[in-house]
């Protein structure tokens, strides 16, 4: 018996909430690229801003740079959870509400997102203050390095709430199909941050030199301004969805967190995988760590492209699912996965052929080059599998069917992190074997995510119904 598609009332003709052009009908590729391009540009800018701040802090000495480096993974975890985790849940919920014509819900979800941003921001701020000293010590921080880490961490995580508000309001706008405003806000914020960071670190004009604290303060100011600009825009008539105080409803939190919780778990899995693989590589010495670190940076270079494409997939799939167009949503997902596979696989093939062209940009030590080349030749051929899996993961966020893609990420973590680390630690496996295990985890991730997609279930989506 065929499954019955549960559809919300058809969208009204309201120009404020109508789906963006090309999402519900028309060419898929051009629409996808139009929605993805601004986000990709913004993520590239953010990456360059992070590099610039690291460059400025490096003038303060090794201890300051090492201290900021200790904080970076924790800050990245928060940014990944707020943008790709809970933010993915927000974008998915808003997109499905817009597609299903639930205009009041689309607006209400914005306020619910702000409430969640405040809650998660406070949790991260408290955790950084209470657990930070122990965590940074366990990562090797001591003396002046630990002092710098605690100073930078204390200031940056004091701004956790505006960081979360910026991420979730941007996600809500993307879910409604407006990718330009979040891109402009973040890009213009970067224009503010790049001169502000050295001004506060070194002290320009009347500003006193704050050292590493100045770098943290610049980041906080950047996000406070971004959050305010986004909030003001979403209170204006031009915004496709409105920020206004509404009565809180459990069903709307559930609609966000149904996707967001699992997506947040996925971000934690990624960070744990990196930590365990790095620990395993560390057993082979400093040259191995340096070679692996440089080579694996190429993995992260691909994130802006995949995440930008993923935000477009969340929007397009979510709106089509909300409108009851499950078949078009599936077609969007597979086309996006094909693009992601092609881009990442080309990067991998180039890395295999010219490994020294990448590694040599950072270090020319023969041993470092050898170790980095070993990683790329084993892992880079399977970049396409990871790109395909990540694209289908984002598409599944839009469809509110994210459980199995997250489980695929769990399997990837088990293979790469736990089996790889155990093989090296307990069974004396070499680096080549470790990298082969990492490659196997990439294949498993791509295959399992594709299998979850093929199993279907999207046509059985039912929107959260308004309370009577």
Residues 269 and 177 reside in one and the same domain: no
Residues 307 and 284 reside in one and the same domain: yes
Residue 353 has pLDDT above 90, yes or no: yes
Q: Considering only CA atoms, which of 348, 341, 336 is closest in space to residue 439?
A: 348
Best mean pLDDT range from 82-86, 228-232, 424-428: 228-232
Residue 268 included in any domain: yes
Percent of the chain with pLDDT over 90: 33
Output the pLDDT for position 136: 83
Output the pLDDT for position 447: 95
Output the pLDDT for position 3: 38
Output the pLDDT for position 319: 83
Q: What residues make up the domain containing 325?
A: 258-460
Helices and strands in the chain, H and E counts: 18, 0
Q: Give the residue-averaged pLDDT of 259-265.
A: 81
Structure tokens at 13: 């003709």
**Of 84-88, 129-133, 285-289, 440-444, which range is least confident?**
285-289
Residues 177 and 275 reside in one and the same domain: no
- Summarize pLDDT for 81-105 with one digit per residue, the tens: 888 788 888 988 898 888 888 889 9
Q: Give the residue-averaged pLDDT of 346-372.
A: 86
* Cβ–Cβ < 8 Å for 369, 295: no
* Cβ–Cβ < 8 Å for 311, 91: yes
The burial of 156, by beta-carbon neighbours within 10 Å (0-12 exposed, 13-18 middle, 19 or more buried), is given as buried
Residues 229 and 317 reside in one and the same domain: no
Residues 203 and 315 reside in one and the same domain: no
Residue 337 included in any domain: yes
Residue 378 has pLDDT above 90, yes or no: yes
pLDDT-derived band at 10 (thresholds 50, 70, 90) equals: very low
Residue 73 has pLDDT above 90, yes or no: no
- Summarize pLDDT for 314-337 with one digit per residue, the tens: 888 888 888 888 889 899 999 999
User: Which tops the pLDDT comparison, 303 or 399?
Assistant: 399
Number of domains in the chain: 2
User: Which tops the pLDDT comparison, 241 or 264?
Assistant: 241
Residue 28 included in any domain: yes
Residue 21 has pLDDT above 70, yes or no: no
Residues 234 and 277 reside in one and the same domain: no
Output the pLDDT for position 19: 63
Residue 11 included in any domain: no
* Cβ–Cβ < 8 Å for 91, 395: no
Q: Which of 224, 248, 272 is the last residue of a domain?
A: 248
Residue 464 has pLDDT above 50, yes or no: no
The chain-wide mean pLDDT, for the chain, equals 83
Whole-prediction pTM: 0.74
Residue 424 included in any domain: yes
Q: Give the residue-averaged pLDDT of 46-50.
A: 69
CA-atom Rg of the chain in angstroms = 22
Q: Considering only CA atoms, which of 73, 81, 202, 78 is closest in space to residue 149?
A: 73
DSSP H stretches of helix in 100-242: 103-138, 143-158, 160-175, 180-198, 212-234
Best mean pLDDT range from 3-17, 129-143, 159-173, 317-331: 159-173
For 262, the 3-state DSSP assignment is: helix
Output the pLDDT for position 466: 45
Output the pLDDT for position 20: 65
Q: Which of 248, 274, 299 is the last residue of a domain?
A: 248
pLDDT-derived band at 45 (thresholds 50, 70, 90) equals: confident
pLDDT-derived band at 433 (thresholds 50, 70, 90) equals: very high
Q: Which of 248, 272, 307 is the last residue of a domain?
A: 248
* Cβ–Cβ < 8 Å for 230, 176: no
State how far Cα 206 lies from the chain centre: 37
Best mean pLDDT range from 98-107, 211-220, 273-282, 380-389: 380-389
Residues 37 and 154 reside in one and the same domain: yes
pLDDT-derived band at 419 (thresholds 50, 70, 90) equals: very high
Residue 397 has pLDDT above 70, yes or no: yes
Residue 168 has pLDDT above 70, yes or no: yes
The Cβ-side half-sphere exposure at 29, using a 13 Å CA radius, reads 4
pLDDT-derived band at 467 (thresholds 50, 70, 90) equals: very low
Output the pLDDT for position 113: 95
């Amino acid at each position: 018996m065929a499954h019955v598609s549960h559809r919300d009332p058809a969208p009204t003709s309201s120009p404020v909430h109508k789906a963006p052009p090309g999402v519900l009908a028309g060419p898929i590729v051009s629409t996808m690229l139009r929605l993805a391009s601004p986000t990709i540009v913004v993520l590239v800018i953010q990456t360059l801003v992070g590099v610039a701040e690291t460059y400025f802090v490096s003038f303060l000495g090794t201890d300051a740079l090492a201290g900021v480096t200790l904080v970076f993974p924790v800050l990245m975890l928060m940014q990944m959870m707020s943008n790709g985790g809970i933010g993915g849940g927000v974008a998915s919920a808003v997109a499905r509400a817009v597609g299903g014509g639930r205009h009041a819900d689309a607006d209400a979800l914005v306020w619910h997102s702000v409430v969640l941003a405040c809650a998660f921001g406070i949790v991260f701020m408290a955790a950084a203050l209470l657990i930070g000293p122990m965590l940074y010590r366990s990562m090797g921080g001591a003396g002046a390095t630990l002092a710098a880490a605690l100073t930078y961490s204390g200031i940056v995580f004091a701004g956790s709430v505006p960081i979360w508000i910026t991420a979730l309001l941007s996600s809500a706008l993307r879910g409604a199909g407006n990718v330009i405003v979040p891109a402009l806000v973040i890009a213009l914020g970067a224009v503010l941050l790049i001169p502000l960071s050295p001004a506060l670190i070194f002290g320009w004009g009347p500003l006193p030199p704050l050292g590493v604290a100045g770098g943290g303060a610049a980041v906080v100011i950047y996000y406070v301004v971004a959050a305010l600009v986004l909030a003001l825009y979403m209170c204006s008539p031009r915004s496709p969805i409105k920020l206004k105080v509404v009565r809180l409803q459990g069903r709307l939190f559930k609609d966000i967190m149904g996707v967001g919780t699992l997506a947040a778990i996925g971000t934690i899995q990624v960070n744990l995988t990196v930590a365990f693989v790095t620990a395993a590589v560390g057993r082979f010495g400093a040259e191995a760590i340096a070679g692996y670190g440089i080579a694996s940076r190429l993995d992260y270079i691909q994130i802006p492209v995949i995440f930008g494409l993923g935000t477009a997939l969340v929007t397009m799939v979510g709106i089509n699912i909300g409108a009851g167009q499950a078949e078009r949503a599936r077609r969007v997902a597979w086309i996006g996965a094909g693009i992601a596979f092609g881009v990442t696989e080309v990067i991998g093939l180039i890395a295999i052929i010219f490994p020294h062209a990448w590694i040599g940009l950072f270090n020319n030590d023969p041993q470092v080059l050898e170790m980095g080349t070993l990683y790329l030749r084993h892992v880079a051929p399977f970049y396409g599998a990871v790109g395909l899996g990540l694209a289908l993961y984002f598409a599944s966020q839009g469809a509110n069917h994210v459980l199995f893609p997250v489980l695929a990420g769990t399997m990837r973590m088990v293979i790469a992190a736990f089996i790889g680390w155990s093989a090296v630690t307990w069974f004396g496996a070499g680096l080549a074997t470790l990298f082969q295990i990492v490659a196997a985890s990439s294949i498993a991730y791509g295959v399992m995510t594709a299998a979850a997609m093929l199993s279907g279930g999207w046509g059985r989506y039912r929107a959260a119904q308004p309370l009577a």
